[in-house]
Structure 1
Amino acid sequence: MRAALVKYSGRRLNNHEAVWFDTPFSRTLEDYYNTGDICVYDSTLRVVDYSEGLSLNIDEPVTEEGVRRVKERCDFILLRGSNYIHEAMDWGHFPAWVEALDLPVLCIGVGAQAETERPIALPPEGRRLWQMIAERTQIGVRGAFSAETLHRNGIHNLEIVGCPSIFRARDRDMTLRHAPGGPRRVTFSLRREVGSTYAVDPAAFIATQKRIIAKLDLSSDLYLSCHGEPEEKAFFFRSPRHMERATAKLVAENWFDEVTGARLKALYESRLYYVGAPGDYDVYAPQFDAALGYRVHAVLPAVATGVPGVLFSYDTRSRELAETFDLPIYSPAEFERQTLADALAPARFARFQQLFPERYDRMKSFIERNGVQTRM
């Protein structure tokens, strides 16, 4: 099977690994890009088996030559999972490409995005696209909220499969490793980049995150991971001028505040890891007893390697994935009322562990039922 790759995030090293685009180091250091998108793309490539991949740029209009080239070289369209199901999604020329190519469209882990679980009325173009995909292939959504949103908009040929990032290790028998006496060495994923579509109150989101980091620093051997923000990358790469600018900005934005700022800055200077490529995180994450924080695609890939992971309830995506996989999820207030050992007690992962093989099989079966081989 040969794939036309749509919404690709980064460049492929081979058919089953992806990293960020080949850009000058200055752009890597100074620009923001979301490494979660790369993780989903890389994870999708790892679980899907295909012989050849052709990048399809849906920002370019359909041409006869383009259609001929894709149909000669591709058997299906592979759409990377992401938060596509919302009112403001711009699909470019993708609906026209789907119509012109008339190929099956495999999408696994697509989801609805909103600050709360509210009804989402898709614009006509969005409804038309999902309807066309559903006429050709079953849609793999990440959870119940996404399924309900598509149902409400008249699209019904779908199945809840979760996210490929939790299956990226392709280990059906994956067993979580629980540290005796509770976790000691912990990695916490930062998220300063947040808007109204991710959190009802972005200012409270930031303040709460800093408070949790400060408490974890007192109760554990804490390390931080960053996932795209340039200020954090300045500290990771130890670029003096960039660090000076980053410090000034973080002070001005009250991230480095008078209460926790000094300790947070010290963590940035000595215990901050930048996730530049998904494969790098596969090496980083297994060194810890637990992974938690505000980046879904730091927690799920860690769980894929056997590290117990906890999600924070701050948007529909985190809640939906926790529900789909039966992973522990806490509001910040709930988390702060517990000890770290209680929050990550093995019993809280019992249902996740019990059902993991079944959910692994469901993802594998979904892909194969839609005409594509897997590496699972």
Structure 2
Amino acid sequence: MTNLGHTPPFRISAPGKRICFWGAPAHVPPFGSLFEGLDLTGANTGNLFIGHGLFHGVDCAHKAFHPGFGAIPAERLHEHFDMLFVPASNFVGNGVDLTAHADYFARTRLPIFCFGLGSQLRPGEAPALKPGTERLLHLLAERGGSIGVRGAFTADVLWRMGIRNTSIVGCPSLLGLQASALERLAAARPALDKIALNLSNNVRRHALHPEAMRTSENGLFQRLLGENAFYILQNERPEIELLAAIAAGEAAKVTDAVQRIADIFDISGSRDDIKAFLERRVRIFYAVDDWVGCMATMSLAIGSRFHGNVAALLAGTPSLCLVHDMRTRELCELLRLPHVVLDRRIAAEELLERGLDADFGPFLANRPRLMTEWSLFLARNGLEPVPETTRAPALAEMLA
């Protein structure tokens, strides 16, 4: 496993406190099958970056993830912990049911601090949340000084729900960003030497422009069959089934999975290049360090998975985010990351050209302002930031 071995430049301090974490995981325990491992990530390996960034970005007396609602009665949680940290994902979505969680945490005595809350709604879509989910969101607002949200869109959705104490700070996945990675981004020149591709082909129905997303992603996938590229998964079932069949040596299942994936990308499954690519160039990671270590070997990451591109950023590798929904859009706009909105069919060559022209100057210049927002957010919750006390000379010179 790759050991990143650096101290993050911005940390959260809670001296003497025992902190319980519940939400996106930071690590997964040993597992049997690829799908068992996927379940342990919360059904999406990208969740690991949220939990990992927050868990390893906190200094306190003791920290641990909640062992399960059956392990500690809610009424006695305060005997083990002093506060609850929630590395959140897209809780603000129609269909998300957090009733059991609302019931449990309502019976605890702990203050609750939420980081990185996001919305899955479309612009203009009225919230129709499950009652339990809405109760949990209001509980988060009542138990903490301020809810950390991913962007202005989520803050507006919560405002219309009557939740006004929000701070727009983005996602805690980037708390682990090292000065060395910032230096690499400042000096990097994107290239097509070795490309990491990430796609959201299994959630296109949620896109702002589904057909534009489908044709743009499919064209890019087809184009990269001829490049030194790797397809990085997060929760795409046919592709994971392919990896499982390859590992088990089940030739018939491999052939079936290749055909199903080819159909998704509008390409003939009988082509030699698609079969070779899918059997040799598909990867999935269940540990943040391994994923970031792989991205450090790439010359460019491109795709519609926000945390797939975060993996590249943490490695100091340039990336281009293909924005297909409000979740990715609000984060890219807040962080000032290079991105393209898939609101029309965009040819693969144009996407690659945009990737080669990716400019991280705005992202780097925006970082001090974002860290100030984090400091204010933590202060509203009675927490202490440990700000950047030094900046690598090379990075300071480039920004100057």
TM-score (norm 2): 0.78
Change (3 A) 1:157 1:308: same
Aligned residues of 2:23 and 2:86 also touching (Cα < 8 A):
yes
Shift of 1:189: 1.2
Matched residue of 2:206: which SS?
A: coil
How is 1:328-367 mapped onto 2 (pairs within 5 angstroms)?
328-332=338-342, 333-334=345-346, 336=348, 338=350, 340-346=352-358, 348-367=359-378
Q: Which residue of 1 aligns with 2:391?
A: none
Query: Which amino acid in structure 2 is aligned with residue 2 of structure 1?
Result: R
The answer for the alignment partner of 1:6 in structure 2 is: 22
| Contact residue 224 and residue 271 of structure 1 kept, 8 A | yes
Give the letter aligned to residue 5 of structure 1: F
Aligned position for 1:12: none
Picking from 252, 265, 289, the partner of 2:275 is 265
Q: Is the 8 A contact 2:241 2:257 kept in 1?
A: no
- Aligned residue identity for 2:334: T
For the residues of structure 2 that align with 1:132 and 1:53, how far apart are their CA atoms? 22
Alpha-carbon distance between aligned partners in 2 of 1:212 and 1:110, rounded to the nearest angstrom? 30
2:153 equivalent to 1:153: no
Residue 30 of structure 2 corresponds to which residue in structure 1? 22
* Gap change, CA 1:251 and 1:205, over 3 Å in 2: farther
Task: Identify which of 285, 302, 307 aligns with 1:275.
Answer: 285
Q: CA distance change for structure 1 residues 274 and 124 in 2, over 3 Å: closer, same or farther?
A: closer
Structure-1 separation of matches of 2:108 and 2:38: 38
Counterpart of 2:218 in structure 1: which amino acid?
K
The aligned runs of 1:196-275 (5 Å cut-off) are 196-198=205-207, 201=210, 205-218=213-226, 220-233=227-240, 235-236=242-243, 238-242=246-250, 244-252=252-260, 254-255=263-264, 257-258=267-268, 262-275=272-285
Separation in structure 1 between the aligned mates of residue 296 and residue 317 of structure 2, nearest angstrom: 6
Does the residue aligned with 1:330 lie in a helix, a strand or coil? strand
Over 3 Å counting, the alpha-carbon distance change for 1:266 and 1:76 in structure 2 is: same
Say if 1:268 and 1:145 are closer, same or farther in 2 by CA, change over 3 A: same
Question: In the aligned structure 2, how far is the partner of 1:265 from the partner of 1:324?
Answer: 39
**1:184-195, aligned counterparts within 5 Å?**
184-194=193-203
1:1-376 matched pairs, under 5 angstroms: 1-9=17-25, 18-25=26-33, 27-28=35-36, 33-56=43-66, 66-116=73-123, 118-137=125-144, 138-171=146-179, 174-175=182-183, 176-177=185-186, 179-180=188-189, 182-194=191-203, 196-198=205-207, 201=210, 205-218=213-226, 220-233=227-240, 235-236=242-243, 238-242=246-250, 244-252=252-260, 254-255=263-264, 257-258=267-268, 262-332=272-342, 333-334=345-346, 336=348, 338=350, 340-346=352-358, 348-367=359-378, 369-373=380-384
Shift of 1:195: 5.6
> Where in structure 2 are there 5+ consecutive unaligned residues?
1-16, 388-400
Q: How far is 1:303 from its partner?
A: 1.2
The one-letter amino acid paired with 2:303 is G
Report what 1:15 is aligned to. none
CA contact (8 A) 2:238 2:260 kept: no
In the alignment, residue 358 of structure 1 is paired with which amino acid?
Answer: R
In the superposition, the TM-score normalised over structure 1's length comes to 0.83
How far 1:142 sits from its partner (Å)? 0.3
User: Structure 1 229/196 Cα, relative in aligned 2: closer, same or farther at 3 Å?
Assistant: closer
Q: SS in structure 2 opposite 1:51?
A: strand
Q: Provide the secondary structure at the position in 2 that maps to 1:2.
A: strand
Indicate if the aligned counterparts of 1:8 and 1:55 stay in contact, CA closer than 8 A: no
C-alpha deviation, 1:37, in angstroms = 1.5
Contact 2:207/2:213, CA 8 A, preserved across alignment: no
Q: CA deviation at 1:89?
A: 1.9
- Tell me the amino acid that sits aligned with residue 276 of structure 2: A
User: What is the alpha-carbon distance in structure 2 between the residues aligned to residue 260 and residue 209 of structure 1?
Assistant: 20
User: In the aligned structure 1, how far is the partner of 2:294 from the partner of 2:385?
Assistant: 26
Identity %: 24
- Relative to structure 2, which stretch is displaced further, 258-267 or 38-47? 258-267
In 1, are the aligned partners of 2:302 and 2:309 still within 8 Å (CA)?
Answer: yes
CA distance change for structure 1 residues 217 and 189 in 2, over 3 Å: closer, same or farther?
Answer: same
Q: How many correspondences in the alignment?
A: 362
Matched residue type, 2:236 = E
Moved more, 49-58 or 135-144: 49-58
Query: 1:270 and 1:173 mapped to 2: Cα distance?
Result: 28
CA deviation after TM superposition for structure 1 residue 204, in Å: 6.3
Single out whichever of 99-108 and 132-141 deviates more from structure 2: 99-108
Alignment partners' CA distance in 1, 2:65 and 2:127:
30
**Aligned-residue offset at 1:178:** 5.1
- Distance (Å, rounded) in 1 between the aligned partners of 2:52 and 2:36: 18
Structure 1: gaps spanning 5 or more residues: 10-17
